[in-house]
Amino acid sequence: MTLNAVLLDQKTLGDDVDLTVLANLFNTWQVYPLTSDHEIVDRCANADVVFTNKVQLTAAVLTALPKLKLIAVTATGTNNIDLVMAEKLGIKVINVAGYAGASVAQHTFSLLLQLTNKVASYQRFIKLGQWQTSEFFCNLDFPMLELANKNFGIVGFGRLGQASAKLAQAFGMKIMIAERPDATVIRDERVSFEQLLTHADVISLHCPLTDDNTDLFNRQIFAKMKPSALLINTARGGLINEPDLVDALKNDVIAGAALDVLSTEPPIDGNCLLDYSGDNLVITPHIAWATTEARQRLVNQLSHNIVDYLNT
């Protein structure tokens, strides 16, 4: 059987991963760095298999691709695919999961450590020549905090939440796992969402974004958190009401936040968090998942999934 494959947005995987394990599965393998909406149908016209990360395959696009048999999503989320239409047309959709546990957990603590150890602030201090003129051997302008014995609260205890919990324990932190906000029964080894808010020193988000939890962390929730609490989000930007977070940071309602995700990415039209200049906020551009090793695991896992599909 002849199989033609197209990768629509190779740049989302990076240039430092080996795609050979995928290319070898097909008779023809066409790679595009990025693909705009008006280019999709033309580029996929002869494809049996389409690889995509963020390119949206709508109902209109899918119905225009009668040869298409398989959509391989180079990510976990499948929200960019019209799954209802794909099923109606008999197009199989596969994705990947569990490839970025170590990467996300590591970045979670990279963000947290920036808030507690102020490495960037001290690096800037040295670059400005201020250590060189110090009156004594060190500098204490940016107070640091120890993580040991602090409460590490987790919202979303899947693979990523569990991986982050292991690192927190290695730092000597106490783990608190939140029950769902609307839960009437608290499972063993979990605490109510309300208890997490009032007791956690750090709250780390690892849950998917749904209609029920959009803007979950808002003005009312921030008011229930400790004034010394730190919020870490490596999940989805929509979990946080961004203007409310800016107000909470400006007015010391909470002590700090570190985010790898925003509500709209990239933030083409600006974002109130990007306009905030306080040093109690750290933002990175959705890179928690993206170590070289994690991206290569993604590719390798996807190749295994495709082999399984071809053998069915």
Which residues form the catalytic set? 236, 265, 286
Rounded to the nearest 5°, which phi and psi values hold at 297? -60, -40
Side chain identity at residue 107, one-letter code: H
**Alpha-carbon separation of residue 98 from 121, 159, 196, 267 (angstroms):** 34, 7, 26, 27
Question: 229, 254 in Cβ contact below 8 A?
Answer: yes
Please give the full DSSP string across the chain, using - where no structure is assigned.
---EEEES-GGGT-TTS--HHHHTTSSEEEE-S---GGGHHHHHTT-SEEEESS--B-HHHHHT-TT--EEEESSS--TTB-HHHHHHTT-EEE---SSSHHHHHHHHHHHHHHHHH-HHHHHHHHHTT-GGG-SSSS--SS-----TT-EEEEE--SHHHHHHHHHHHHTTPEEEEBPPTT-SSPPTT-B-HHHHHHH-SEEEE-PPP-TTTTT-B-HHHHHHS-TT-EEEE-S-GGGB-HHHHHHHHHTTSSSEEEES--SSSS-TT--HHHH---TTEEE--S-TT--HHHHHHHHHHHHHHHHHHHT-
Rounded to the nearest 5°, which phi and psi values hold at 91? -95, 125
**Which residue is listed with tokens 């083409």?**
268
